[in-house]
């Protein structure tokens, strides 16, 4: 069996807005190559590819030519470590919306909801999310919610709810979604008003109410030692705190 190798490529020129990413995905899948492609902030296209060396050579040749409307000025490639991807996908594109609602109920908690296949997959996080990579937060999986619930804020039963954070997110990791959630390890990137950067959900206990850990990844958005739920308690929708809602 031929061992897999990996390369990282940067393609420069007129390569954004011309279908370069979609064409790269199609060619990579034809070749049986795994990894990702994404647009760089400087107008380049970035590619991580892993597979058999002949397949990588064929993909590199494609990158030098590009799709019909692209203008490739330069392609730089480096050999890198194999990461073990199980798909080839476009990175940097929103997978849907997310919301975090602070909820006073029988027990105070924060509900993390990620849009997956048209519904909001949901986890109750007792201590709330954190931007500190050392803070591994318990997250108990709960029933899916409709997307219409994302904007709800106000009194609810004997408690109340505020929209603590919201935005869009990217699915990440080596395994495609929703399979990653089924396996119990899902990586994603949040683009919220308070929560930004990479996060991971790691299932630690299966059952009727599976338990997970919500972990901030170590990236430029990480804030070691911080406590974002205490530092930023107000709703991103109304500016109210949960206490304000409970007093209404």
Cite the active site residues: 21, 39
DSSP annotation of 173: S
CA separation for the pair 229, 69 (Å, rounded):
47
Write out the two tokens for 122.
């949901």
How deeply is 171 buried, as exposed, middle or buried, from its count of CB atoms within 10 A (0-12, 13-18, 19+)? buried
| Best CA proximity match to 190, nearest among 109, 89, 97 | 97
For the packed helices 20-31 and 53-65, what is the interaxial angle rounded to 10 degrees?
160
| Length of the chain (residues) | 248
Please identify which residue in the block is written with the tokens 């400087």.
42
**Largest distance between two CA atoms of the chain:** 67
Cis omega (within 30 of 0) for bond into 178: yes
CA separation for the pair 94, 168 (Å, rounded):
6
CA separation for the pair 217, 207 (Å, rounded):
26
CA separation for the pair 122, 103 (Å, rounded):
13
């Amino acid at each position: 069996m031929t061992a897999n190798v990996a390369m990282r490529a940067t393609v420069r020129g007129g390569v954004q807005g011309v279908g370069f990413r979609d064409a790269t995905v199609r060619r990579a899948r034809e070749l049986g190559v795994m990894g990702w492609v994404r647009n760089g902030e400087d107008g380049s296209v970035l590619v991580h590819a892993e597979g058999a060396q002949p397949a990588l050579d064929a993909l590199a040749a494609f990158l030098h030519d590009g799709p019909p409307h692209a203008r490739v000025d330069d392609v730089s490639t480096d050999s890198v470590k194999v990461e073990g991807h199980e798909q080839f996908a476009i990175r940097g594109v929103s997978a849907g919306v997310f919301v975090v609602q602070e909820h006073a109920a029988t027990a105070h908690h924060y509900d993390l909801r990620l849009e997956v296949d048209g519904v909001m997959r949901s986890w109750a996080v007792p201590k709330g999310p954190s931007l500190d990579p050392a803070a591994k937060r318990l997250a108990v999986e709960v029933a899916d919610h409709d997307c219409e619930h994302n904007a709800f804020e106000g009194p609810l039963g004997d408690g109340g709810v505020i929209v603590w954070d919201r935005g869009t997110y990217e699915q990440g990791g080596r395994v495609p979604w929703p399979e990653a959630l089924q396996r119990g390890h899902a990586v994603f990137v949040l683009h919220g008003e308070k929560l930004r950067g990479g996060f991971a959900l790691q299932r630690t206990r299966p059952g009727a109410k599976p338990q997970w850990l919500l972990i901030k990844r170590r990236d430029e958005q990480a804030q070691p030692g911080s406590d974002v739920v205490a530092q930023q308690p107000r709703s991103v929708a109304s500016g109210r705190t949960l206490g304000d809602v409970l007093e209404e």
